[in-house]
Amino acid sequence: MSKNQSLTAAYDSLPFIAKLLIIIIGGVIVGGVYRIVKYFETKNIITLVVGLLGTFTGIGNLILWICDVVTTITRGKFVVFAD
């Protein structure tokens, strides 16, 4: 990661297979943490709320994990509430 590159940009620049493995193995937490970090970069409150709900609630983890796996496979990045 270069000095000027954000954490989410560093994650987004990973190869497809690395992102897919990370989200499948650690996806219950990775998606929520990604959204929380993204909030600090974009200041979008919806991203923060979804990140917190996804990280700290059981059903939120499952729903976001499924969405993140599907969008990682189809688009190569997190799309749902992660702008």
pTM listed for this prediction: 0.82
46 occurs within a structural domain = yes
Q: What are the pLDDT tens digits along the chain (83 aa)?
A: 556 678 888 888 999 999 999 998 887 788 888 888 999 989 989 889 988 888 888 777 888 888 889 988 999 888 887 77
Residues spanned by the domain of 71: 27-83
Percent of the chain as helix, strand, coil, to the nearest 5: 75, 0, 25
CA pair distance 12, 14, nearest whole angstrom:
6
6 occurs within a structural domain = no
2 occurs within a structural domain = no
**What's the token pair of residue 80?**
């749902």
